[in-house]
Amino acid sequence: MTGKQRKNLIRIIVAVVLTVLAAIFAPDGWLGLLLYLLPYVVVGADIVFDAVTGIFRGRFLDEKFLMAVATIGAFAIGEYLEAVAVMLFFQVGELFESIAVGKSRRNIMALMNIRPDKASVLRQGEEFEVSPEEVKVGEKIVVRPGERIPLDGMVAEGTSSVDTSALTGESLPADISVGDKVISGTVNLSGVITVEVQSEYSESTVARVLELVQNASSKKARTENFITRFARVYTPCVVAGATLLAVVPPLVFSQDFGEWLHRGLVFLAVSCPCALVISVPLSFFGGIGRASKEGILIKGSGFMESLARTKQVVFDKTGTLTEGRFSVSQIHPVGIAEDELLRLAAFAESSSLHPIARSVVAAYDGEIDTTLITQMQEHSGRGVEALVKGQRIYAGNRDFIEKVAEMPRISATGTVVHVAKENEYLGYITLADSIKPHAKEAVAQLRALGVRKTVMLTGDREDTARRVGEELQIDEVYAQLLPEDKVAAVERMIPECSPLVFVGDGINDAPVLTRSDVGVAMGALGSDVAIEAADVVLMDDKLSKLPRAIDISRRTMAIVRQNIVFALGIKGLVLILGAFGIVGMWAAIFADVGVMILAILNAMRTLAQKSK
Amino acid sequence: MRKTYQMEDLDCAVCAAKMEDAIRKIDGVESVSINYIMQQMTIEADESRLAGIMKQASKACRKIERNCRIIM
């Protein structure tokens, strides 16, 4: 609690005690009025003061003015206790709001507690502790185990592992060694490392992410704008209603003035749209905070609203649905075992740097004893040959192998590595850009969430694209597209089925990201372009984050809707019942303060939502 | 130019909306958005006139909420 909050709490407690005493002891007449005025002044003097000064500044309909009128009116008709109670609960509500909002703010700051506060920079061989802003590009910094890496850079010395969970939500640590990139905001876990700084603090990942989360207001939700507009008309309408109630029945129908004034005052007590104006943005804020905790950055409540209603998801293929790296998809041996074929190929290609060779080696689980391999020769663009345990092994394309061994007729698609031993053909290995783990699951989850159509766009060849599309059960596949074709395709698809969410890796697809209803960039950690262009940024490259983002958005929207219905429902009910004199001031107090407290508590649930 | 300022003692969400309205009317302001929960104001305005604009904005805020300050 801040000093101001504590002071208000004390005022409220003192006023409660004085009110109770007044309720017990107050005699009728002016002495009673005086006894009730005491707590009123304690708790409401500043409100009345603000209300009066407000009039001179041309503000008639602010909440303080209305509270002042409602309570003074209640005193005027002799309802002392109600007058004090309205003011008292108004202050209770204000205090609660201030505490709750402060708590939410702190919770979200804690979620995003990734700001590094110092950097140990090496200058002339000595270590200096400075703030991250003071470190220049090219300088070296030392990061010890347990410390947060303050700036983006490359490991110059040492090996360690890093915990990226604060940024990506990923709980498994990643191993790093010399030459690897490290990202600011992640935590160094096991070893001391020296990092060569590659960007200034203001341009670093951590600074960008913080900026993005805290200013996630680039597009406000329609719901949020509706509430702001609604608040603007609600108060004048209710005040007009209050005036009519207090004036028309007594004047036109010569009813009892005190009774109708009382009903009018009930109206004034529910004239603040506070519950909505606070709880709706608070819900979105909590939802956005929750998402960022899981490595999903949403750039505004408007995108959350669209995500919740997602009807069509369009994926880019390479790097989004697939790894963007080759891996062994099939092994077709002739006369030997599968793993023997893979082993021989891996041995032969073990020292080649060609991406295909690297993929074959990566697919082989066993140890490669390099002492067994001699006379390795690389035939550029064709293949390799090497002596493995004294036997000559060839691995390469068809032209290359045909020269040494007789080959059967083979109809394989994709990239193929043929293998031969001396003059004997051993079979072939096919390589494909492998589909990401969980990609299929994520597509199925999207469908379960009610996404009507999934589409894949790619610049890749038709047959490869079809195969990926079928494997993932994607509804439509468009292959051999140029970047501008992708934009055109998305533009054509938006009117058919929207909101349309486009998911890409942020490389080459910035125009499509901008054009779609919600542009999602994934694997964006460290990619500036993607963070700029996208509406939603998935910090790592896990496709399962997308259904999760939709899920969080849906739950947030549900809480927003609950609050709107609940607040408007109760207020409407009290207004109607109050107009007929069925309920009085106490119900109005509940409709004002009680509803606000409940709506805020409900809004705070968005931050705490657990994954299924 | 876009700039974000921290605010202090901004205690009512309705007031924040009113402040947005008032500041938007100041000459030279392109857009303004107040994040009540973060107590932050993001303003987009002509850089050369920013100092004057912020002075007016701060006055507008105080007029709506007496104790509210923009930290500059």
pLDDT at position A66 over 90: no
Q: Does A599 touch chain B (CB under 8 A)?
A: no
Residue in chain B closest to A104 (alpha carbons) equals B37
Distances in Å between the alpha carbon of A606 and those of A276, A285, A392, A550? 15, 8, 64, 13
Distance from CA of A164 to the nearest CA of B (A): 25
Q: Which of B11, B33, B64 is the closest to A217 by Cβ?
A: B33
Which of B15, B37, B64 lies nearest to residue A101, judging by beta carbons?
Answer: B37
**Residue closest to A519 by CA, chosen among A534, A539, A538, A541:** A534
Task: Name the residue of chain B whose CA is nearest to A280's CA.
Answer: B13
B63: which chain A residues are within 8 Å (Cβ-Cβ)?
Answer: 57
DSSP alpha helices (H): ranges in A424-544?
439-448, 462-472, 483-496, 510-515, 528-533
Residues on chain A touching B11 (C-beta within 8 angstroms): 94, 97-98
Bridge partner list, A429: A331, A417
Query: Chain B: residue nearest A100 by CA?
Result: B37
Q: How far apart are CA A552 and CA A9, in angstroms?
A: 35
Q: What is the pLDDT of residues A249-296, one digit of tens each?
A: 888 888 888 889 889 999 988 888 888 888 898 899 889 888 888 889
> Residues A152, A316, A535, A551: which is the catalytic one?
A316
Q: Report CB contact under 8 Å: A273, B36.
A: no
A217 and B11 in contact by Cβ < 8 A? no
Which residues on chain B are in Cβ contact (under 8 Å) with A97? 11
> ω into residue A499 within 30 of 0, thus cis?
yes
Q: How far apart are CA A195 and CA A197, in angstroms?
A: 6
> What is the pLDDT averaged over residues A314-328?
82
At A445, list the tokens.
Answer: 């989850």
Q: A282 vs chain B: nearest CA distance in angstroms?
A: 7
With b for 16 or more beta-carbon neighbours within 10 A and e for fewer, the A475-485 pattern comes to eebbbebeeee
Lowest pLDDT segment from A100-104, A212-216, A568-572: A212-216
Band of the pLDDT at A17, cuts 50, 70, 90? Answer: very high
CA atoms within 13 A on the CB side of A517: 23
Q: Which residues of A touch B35 (CB under 8 A)?
A: 214-215, 217
The pLDDT of residue A193: 92
Dump strand ranges (E) for A17-75: none
* Per-residue pLDDT at A577: 94
**Mean of the pLDDT values across residues A2-18?**
89
Query: Cβ(A276)–Cβ(A227) under 8 Å?
Result: yes
Residue A426 has pLDDT above 60, yes or no: yes
Q: What is the helix (H) or strand (E) element at residue A267, kind and residue range?
A: helix A257-269
Whether A451 contacts A312, CB under 8 Å: yes
Contact A425, A418 (CB under 8 A): yes
**R_g (Cα) of chain A, nearest Å:** 34
Cβ proximity of A89 and A270 under 8 Å: no
A339 as an active site residue: the answer is no
CB contact under 8 A, A104 and B37: yes
DSSP state of A437: T
In chain B, the number of structural domains is 1
Mean pLDDT of A18-36: 84
Tell me the count of A-B CB pairs closer than 8 A: 52
Domain that holds residue B57: 2-71
Q: Is B52 exposed, middle or buried (0-12, 13-18, 19+ CB in 10 A)?
A: middle
**Shortest Cα–Cα distance, A280 to chain B (Å):** 11
User: What number is the average pLDDT over the span A312-335?
Assistant: 84
Q: Is A228 on the interface with B (CB under 8 A)?
A: yes
For residue range A336-385, what is the model confidence (pLDDT) as tens digits? 888 888 888 888 888 777 777 888 888 888 777 777 788 888 877 788 88
pLDDT at A341: 87
Residue A345 main-chain phi, psi, to 5 deg? -60, -45
| Residue A588 near residue A238 (C-beta atoms within 8 A) | no
CA distance B56 to A435: 57
Is the minimum CB–CB distance between B62 and chain A shorter than 8 Å?
Answer: no
Q: Nearest by CB to A274, which of B14, B33, B63?
A: B14
Chain A positions touching B4 (Cβ under 8 A) are 215
Cα distances from A461 to residues A75, A467, A477, A599, in angstroms, run: 81, 10, 11, 53
Q: What is the pLDDT of residues A376-401, one digit of tens each?
A: 888 777 888 888 888 888 988 888 88
Q: What is the pLDDT of residues A437-458, one digit of tens each?
A: 889 999 999 999 999 999 999 8
3-state helix, strand, coil in chain B (%, to 5): 40, 30, 25
pLDDT of residue A413: 65
Rounded CA gap, A26 and B19, in Å?
43
pTM of structure: 0.79
Binding-face residues of A in 518-577 toward B, CB within 8 A: none
Q: Does A53 touch chain B (CB under 8 A)?
A: yes
The confidence score (pLDDT) of residue A77 equals 86
pLDDT at A610 over 90: no
Angle B32-B36-B38 (CA atoms, 0-180°, nearest 5)? 100
CATH number at residue B28: 3.30.70.100
Q: What residue of B is the nearest CA neighbor of A286?
A: B37
In chain B, residues with a C-beta closer than 8 Å to the C-beta of A282 are: 37
Q: Which residue of A has its CA nearest to B17?
A: A228
pLDDT tens, residue by residue, A191-245 = 899 999 998 888 888 887 777 766 655 577 888 888 888 888 888 899 899 999 9
At residue A217, the pLDDT reads 57
Query: How near does any CA of chain B get to the CA of A178, in Å?
Result: 38
Q: Are the beta carbons of B13 and A214 separated by less than 8 Å? A: no
Sheet holding A153-157, edge to edge: A126-130, A119-123, A140-143, A193-197, A153-157, A181-182
- Let me know: does B45 contact B30? Beta carbons within 8 Å: yes
Distance CA A202, CA A601 (A): 36
pLDDT at position A98 over 90: no
> To the nearest whole number, what is the mean pLDDT of chain A?
86
Burial of A218 (C-beta count, 10 Å sphere; 0-12/13-18/19+)? middle
List the one residue out of A604, A538, A608, A566 whose CA is nearest residue A303: A538
Specify burial of residue A189 (Cβ count, 10 A radius: 0-12, 13-18, 19+): middle
Cβ–Cβ below 8 Å for B14 and A281:
no
pLDDT at A414: 66
pLDDT of residue A553: 95
Indicate the pLDDT class of residue A314, thresholds 50, 70 and 90: very high
Contact assessment for residue A494 and residue A500, using Cβ atoms and an 8 Å cutoff:
yes
